[in-house]
Chain A
Amino acid sequence: MINTKKFLEFISYKENSDREGFILKETADDNNEQPQGENQPTQSEKPPARKALKKTSRAGGLQPEEDQVEGDPDAIRASLNQNKNIISNLYGLPENKDLVIREFVIGTDPEINCFAVFIDGLTDKAIQDLLFQALMLFAERPLPKEKGGLVYLVREHLLPGNQVAVKNLFSDVLTAVNMGDTAIFLEGSTKALLIETKGWEHRGVERPQSEQIVRGPQEAFNETLRANTALIRKIIRDERLTTEMLTMGDRTRTIVAIMYLRDLANPDLVAEVKRRLDSIKTDYIADSGILSQFIEDNPYNLNPTILTTERPDRVASQLVEGRVAIIVDGSPFVLVVPTTLYEQLHTGEESYIRWQYGSYLRYLRALAFLVSFLAPGAYLAIVLFHHEMIPTELLLAIAGNREKVPFPSLIEVLLMEISFELIREAGIRLPGVIGGTIGIVGALILGQAAVQANIVSPILIILVAITGLASFAIPDYSLSFALRIYRFIYIALGVTMGFFGIAIGIFAQMVLTANLKSFGVPYLSPVGPRTVGGVDVVYRMPVFFHEKRPDYINPQDITRQPRVSRGWIKDKGGGTND
């Protein structure tokens, strides 16, 4: 049969095909031999020009504008009325109430008829008032002779806006207006002025919601792209920190920013990120979560291969290791690539507290990692198959407490696990004040009542509680999801095959996880494959030992700090009061 042949092919060994995809190649291990900064490979030319990547610095300078293409339907006409009609058609006026067309006259000599186009709600009214004031009241200059120079006169002498651009295509105008800019069309000019007036309602910078820490900065990203890039740049005040932007989503026209350190991030990595982003064709990108699903390497594996964080300090620390951050406008979560399993178990707090405490936290978290998906399965394996594995008195305590329970232990475990998952889900959905308390109170009351009603045994409540706590101790939200699902797989394996099944499960999970890659970096590095261990993988060495950046990122400069980073220990002089 064909199917059996296919199946045999599926399960038997095959030579690795070239499906490996992108591999982050070793960089020449620099000992500062490579001149830094200048010899950038030709990364900026690489991306295909479907969506032109624009540098952040919106050109406010005096570049020569391209000449108007004759007869181009996209071109701005010289007639004000024509322009107005085109704009009305494009936006579907008068049904579309969002767009405002404000007609006015510039008070020059002679006067010029103009109209401004903007979207109500996306603009800052104060800035707009200032603009109109300047144009209508304070503009008293003689007109230049050439009509084409009119826009430049207005831009250079009359408009007080901080970012003013001149465009001659409607598509450019539309993009800008959709982003909250104000466009001004002048009578007789085939160019339009685009003035930066963005100012929509948004949340301020608040505390992180899902990645709280005790020591360290308490700022989180919000929904505004510009605020987010600023939060990162506020930490890395380096001119080599580059932000590239592109728009994605045919309908949402979401701006996506890529941030990296120009002299540090591996150019191949940056090019790969751009290549993947450029190739995405979709209509709706509202959040980085959607984008991450489009660009991740292994969509079918449970483990997330892209780090998602809402903490600017976390992103900054990853950027200086040579990684690339992807910021999506409207999303308070920033993607960082490449990432490894070990980084998903870090929070950043370990760096802010002393290294002993940090290492302790890490080991605690490693324990939580194992408990969160293995504990219920192991419990079931012991209770059903391996009675001899635990001390007699513990076994008798478990057995005694189970005597009154009418269900098999599998049902008992599933009952509690599912109740716990429900509490967890409900705790997030429940409104406001109730939500916070339902988690603890609900679990306590439910557990207590279940024990009193002899539905479950008290030992199981402890088990489920510990498992739940362990899964909350996993700092990465996605990874914690993955482990929650793995938990049920291990329950099935433990029930059917005992520890033998759990061993099979661990082996399979290990192989599947080791197979993952995150933007060319093996997901389990530096452990599988084994590379340079580093001082910040599981345990954390003191900060002055952090001499190298992670090897598997292959940054352009691997050295973080010299061998002796604490200069003061070299000169033994001590104080000056001798």
Chain B
Amino acid sequence: MRKARVCIFMLLAVSLLVLPGCWGSRETDEVAFVLAMGFDKGEKENLVVTVMIANPKVLAGISSEEGGGGEGGGGALIYSVESYAPLAALDLLNTTVDRRVSFLHTKAFLFSEELAREGLAKWIHPLNRYRELRGTSQVFICRGKARDFIEKNKPVLELSPTKQIELLNMMSKENGLYHNTKFSEFYDDTKSDSIHPSIPLVAIHEGGLESAKPGIGRGGEATPGKYIAGEVPIAGPNQSQVIGSAVFKGDKMVGILNGQETRYYLVLRGLFGRGITAIPDPLDPNLPVGLLVSQSRSPQYTTIIDPEGNVTINVDIYKEPEIISITSGYNYEDPTNKELLEVSFIQQTQKGLLDLIRRTQEEFGTDIFGFGKQVKRKFWTVQTWKEYQWLDRYAEASINVTVHSKIRRTGLQLETKPTTGGE
């Protein structure tokens, strides 16, 4: 009897393990991990899906064949498939890839500009519904074809292509020339009633240095951010570039911001880390003064709604520049001169910010800054807020920007002296 009881107990224990066991286990060598996924407009079907599949043998350094796909990108295999929907494309892809294609480690989704201008909702909805998707994946808009970008992007320094995307995420704080948009953020923003989405721009720059724009001495802008992706004059082993933003209205792309505008955008959202910029010298407008600018406090918003429903938003921006170069040789470390520089910087920044806001109001009509989230607080219920139709009325809102700035550091130098000799 006792033996029987023990047997029953063991049987129950084993069936407890076996019956509810999720037999969805997959060995790592049964799965093909997609690291990045690109979407292009197809010729016959709707969509060309390009996937970059990790080749773990190469990444772990045990592959017998050398490289695989040249330096840097050897760890990845690129497939394209033309299909009518992104997830159907996966099944179709599995007719040639012998392992189950998985999104679990997909770090980047790239949409071509062409596709984005037609609207992305129908492509991101199935992805968002799919259980394997990582909400923290980055989304990019690719100028040109996404397939070309995935093929030509060779992060030479990295062993694994995903590291490039992870590093991009961090580097945004260092230069402010692009921002990060997570997949879930983008999806939420396409549905939001208080903000429009925006996505960083990427592109392949085929040429060399010839795309350079005129410098400050020749009437150009004194900022590194005057480019958009695909135009930055860089010659080097990797041709991919990330700079600028794509502006969306709902799920449709409506415009492009360049690097400097992206910086202003980040400043207005309080996400700006730091970045090097230049302003014309107040005493000699043909020469630049280099500044390392950082945002010292998050922006302060004051919103006023009058009985007619007209919105006024006052934004206080706090920025702290640090002098990094004085080309003219004037002693701007001197307190009176410093004030001159501060005033000039404030004027320039204020103008830049207002220009950008005006552009979004008049040209795009999209509130990518999320001002709606500030205005929303003035409404007691969500119904009245929805009725107010903020996104349609954004263009009419009057937005004022006040910049507060103080030069606190002058680099490692306390005084600028003219160079001796010369002339």
Contact = CB atoms under 8 A, between A and B. Distances in A.
Partners in one complex: yes
Interface of A: 3, 7, 383-385, 387-388, 392-393, 395-404, 408-409, 492-493, 495-498, 500-501
Given A399-B33, A498-B22, 6 more contacts: A387-B26, A388-B132, A393-B59, A395-B105, A402-B27, A496-B22
28 contacts: A384-B26, A385-B24, A387-B105, A388-B105, A392-B33, A392-B35, A392-B105, A392-B160, A392-B162, A393-B162, A396-B56, A396-B59, A397-B56, A397-B60, A398-B28, A399-B28, A399-B56, A399-B60, A400-B58, A402-B28, A402-B29, A403-B29, A403-B56, A403-B62, A496-B17, A496-B18, A497-B17, A497-B22
B102 A403 contact: no
B61 interface: yes
B29 to A, nearest CB: 6
Nearest to B103: A388
Contacts of A395: 28, 33, 105
A401 B17 contact: no
Contacts of A383: 27-28
A387 B102 contact: yes
A8 to B, nearest CB: 12
B136 to A, nearest CB: 10
Nearest to A380: B25
Interface string B39-55: 00000000000000010
Nearest to A401: B60
Interface of B: 8, 17-18, 20-22, 24-29, 31, 33, 35, 54, 56-62, 75, 102, 104-105, 107, 132, 134, 159-160, 162-163
B160 A497 contact: no
Given A385-B22, A388-B105, A404 B62 contact: yes
Contacts of B58: 400
Nearest to B165: A392
The 6 A-B residue pairs with the shortest CB-CB distance, nearest first, are A400-B60, A400-B56, A399-B28, A384-B25, A496-B21, A399-B56
Nearest to A11: B12
Which of B56, B75, B160 has the most C-beta atoms of chain A within 10 angstroms of its own C-beta? Answer: B56
Contacts of A403: 29, 56-57, 60, 62
A381 to B, nearest CB: 9
Contacts of A404: 62
B102 A399 contact: no
B17 A396 contact: no
Given A387-B104, A392-B33, A392-B162, A400 B59 contact: yes
A396 B134 contact: no
A388 B28 contact: no
Nearest to B134: A388
Contact of B31 (A387, A409, A498): A387
Contacts of B60: 396-397, 399-401, 403
A338 B8 CA distance: 35
B61 A400 contact: yes
A106 B261 CA distance: 120
A388 B28 CA distance: 11
B21 A497 contact: yes
Nearest to A404: B62
B62 A385 contact: no
Contacts of B132: 388
A216 B20 CA distance: 52
A387 B24 contact: no
Nearest to A384: B25
A495 B25 contact: yes
Contact of A397 (B17, B33, B59, B102): B59
Nearest to B31: A387
Contacts of B57: 400, 403
A72 to B, nearest CB: 46
Which of A7, A385, A399, A495 has the most C-beta atoms of chain B within 10 angstroms of its own C-beta? Answer: A399
Contacts of A396: 33, 54, 56, 59-60, 75, 105, 160
Contacts of A398: 28
B142 to A, nearest CB: 21
Given A403-B57, A404-B62, A392 B21 contact: no
Contacts of B162: 392-393
A392 B164 CA distance: 12
A403 B59 CA distance: 11
A7 B9 CA distance: 9
Nearest to B58: A400
A3 B33 CA distance: 50
Contacts of B102: 387
A539 to B, nearest CB: 36
B177 to A, nearest CB: 25
B134 A387 contact: no
Nearest to A493: B17
Contacts of A388: 104-105, 132, 134
B419 to A, nearest CB: 49
Contacts of A496: 17-18, 21-22
A44 to B, nearest CB: 41
A507 to B, nearest CB: 13
A393 B21 contact: no
A408 B107 CA distance: 27
A408 B35 contact: no
Contacts of B61: 400
A351 B54 CA distance: 52
Contacts of A498: 22, 25
Contacts of A7: 8
Given A384-B27, A392-B162, A393-B160, A492 B59 contact: no
Nearest to B106: A392
Contact of B62 (A3, A393, A401): A401
Nearest to A405: B29
Contacts of A497: 17, 20-22
Which of B18, B27, B58, B102 has the most C-beta atoms of chain A within 10 angstroms of its own C-beta? Answer: B27
Nearest to B132: A388
